[in-house]
Amino acid sequence: ANPGWPIEAGPLRVRAGVVTLRPVQRRDGRDWSALRLGERDHLEPWEPTVDGQWRDNNTARAWPPIHSQLRRYARAGASLPAAIEVDGRFCGQLTVGGIVRGALHSGWIGYWVGRPFGGGGVATAALALGLDHALGPGALHRIDATVRPENTASRVVLERCGFREEGLLQRYLHVDGAWRDHLLVARTRDEHGRGAAAALVASGFARRV
């Protein structure tokens, strides 16, 4: 069993439109590929290194095996892999991964949003929904995230969702050709109060639909 799977969260309205989370689907391949093929310079500075070429790794044909692996991890209880939609259109991904139960009850969270949908609060809304889901229906105690210090936009998103900085992980992850330092940020259920989405609504950043 995987508490919180399948993931369904939202809707939450922000400047860009109405944001929801739903499980990744095999039929997302075309939209996923169309977005990612044009976004190498937007995504590659921040994503973990994988074998192969960007244009081969992001064709529509590359998606089914990625999708199958994501669903396998979800069935095994190790992840909650979501598509982010704005106004019903696929615009990115949010994944809670590395889920361990027992005395940890923790996981990490990561996300990307395609450039055509960026700058309107989509990532902030998606992260708030994903975090609330992981600490709520997902029954996890702690969610952490790692972000390159240079990734200003993502740091803004994490801070708006209440993530606390815990330290600098040196040469932590291979990204964009080298082992890169990452900030470790986290949030635990005891400090989560009424949740991140409620806080965004209270501050006027988001509205319930």
For residue 21, the Cα-to-chain-centroid distance in whole angstroms is 10
Helix or strand holding residue 107 (H, E): strand 106-113
Smallest separation (angstroms) from ligand ACO to the CB of 1? 26
Tell me whether residue 1 or residue 24 sits nearer to ligand ACO (CB atom).
24
What SS3 state is found at 162? coil
Instruction: Give per-residue burial for 80-110: e unless 16+ CB within 10 Å, then b.
Output: bbbbbbbeeebbbbbbbeebeeeeebbbbbb
Q: Single out the residue of 20, 31, 154, 175 in contact with ligand ACO (rule: CB under 6 A).
A: 154
* Contact code string over 60-99 relative to ligand ACO, x by CB under 6 A: ----------------------------------------
Helix then strand count (H, E) for the chain reads 7, 9
Q: Which segment (65-73, 74-82, 149-157, 170-178) binds ligand ACO by CB under 6 A?
A: 149-157
- Give the interface size with ligand ACO as a residue count (CB under 6 A): 22
* Contact code string over 30-49 relative to ligand ACO, x by CB under 6 A: ------------xx--x---
C-alpha to C-alpha distance for 111 and 96, rounded to whole angstroms: 9
Smallest separation (angstroms) from ligand ACO to the CB of 154? 4
What is the amino acid identity at position 54? W
* β-strand partners of 178: 175
Tell me whether residue 102 or residue 170 sits nearer to ligand ACO (CB atom).
170
Which residues contribute to the site for ligand ACO (CB under 6 A)?
42-43, 46, 110-113, 118-124, 145, 147, 151-154, 156-157
